């Protein structure tokens, strides 16, 4: 898979695993897919609970400038993150939102919006903290940017051994949900068109 230069912003609040999500995706690209990646991060004045975001640049050639200018993909996990960073998304870009925490409105019609109840899925797996792995799995499915196996290996390599199995389950749940969402809502910017989540 050829990876073109892609700018990604992931944003939410502390405790959601925003930075770890970016690390996993960057590691998948650079270590397990033979591409290149840079990551920068930003925290608000608070730590846990405060605003935070990560900028990720992925490319099939060395990245010369590590900061994003206008993201191709925006992942938002809080309403504050959506309000702050939503307008930055490039025309034709992809927006991925946490379905239960972000209400999408007044967005550009040229973008594609995909939503996932990542927190809910994580809670049903037993640990809210693995919502970032759910989100990473969903990202992998709907963007088609990275090989699923590369991301899977990066997840396994980036979490404590005691939580590896749970995070991999969360990744698979997100991947499965994303594959369904991609089939159900292709090429749409309508935030009301999303796959309903139900317990198995």
pLDDT digits (tens, 9 = 90+) for 6-57: 999 999 988 899 999 999 999 999 999 999 999 998 765 544 556 789 999 9
Picking from 117, 136, 120, the residue whose alpha carbon sits closest to that of residue 128 is 120
- 195 belongs to a structural domain: no
Residue 14 pLDDT = 84
Can you give the pTM of this predicted structure?
Answer: 0.88
Average pLDDT over residues 166-171: 97
pLDDT at 108: 66
Query: What is the CATH classification number for the domain harbouring 50?
Result: 3.40.920.10
Boundaries of domain holding 130? 6-184
Any domain includes 32: yes
Q: What is the pLDDT of residue 190?
A: 41
Q: Is residue 192 part of a domain?
A: no
pLDDT digits (tens, 9 = 90+) for 123-135: 999 999 999 999 9
Question: Would 194 be classed as within a structural domain?
Answer: no
Per-residue confidence (pLDDT) for residue 9, from 0 to 100: 97
Is residue 196 domain-resident? no
Residue 159: name the closest of 167, 147, 171, 169 by CA. 167
Annotate 17-48 with b (16+ C-beta within 10 A) or e (fewer): bbbbbbbbbbbbbbebbebbbbbeeeeeeeee
**What is the domain count for the chain?**
1
């Amino acid at each position: 898979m050829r990876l073109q230069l892609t700018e990604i912003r992931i944003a939410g609040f502390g405790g959601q695993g925003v930075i770890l999500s970016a690390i996993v995706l960057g590691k998948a690209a650079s270590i397990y897919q033979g591409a290149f990646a840079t990551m920068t991060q930003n925290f608000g004045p608070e730590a846990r609970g405060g605003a935070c975001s990560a900028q990720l640049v992925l490319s099939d050639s060395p990245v010369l400038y590590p900061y994003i200018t206008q993201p191709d993909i925006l992942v938002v996990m809080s309403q504050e993150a959506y309000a702050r960073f939503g307008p930055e998304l490039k025309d034709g870009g992809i927006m991925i939102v946490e379905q239960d925490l972000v209400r999408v409105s007044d967005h550009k019609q040229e973008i594609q919006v995909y939503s996932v109840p990542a927190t809910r899925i994580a809670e049903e797996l037993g640990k809210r903290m693995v919502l970032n792995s759910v989100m990473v799995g969903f990202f992998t499915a709907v963007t088609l940017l990275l090989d699923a196996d590369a991301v899977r290996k990066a997840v396994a390599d980036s979490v404590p051994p005691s939580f590896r199995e749970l995070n991999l389950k969360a990744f698979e749940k997100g991947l499965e949900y994303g594959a369904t969402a991609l089939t159900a809502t292709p090429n749409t910017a309508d935030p009301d068109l999303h796959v309903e989540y139900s317990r198995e």
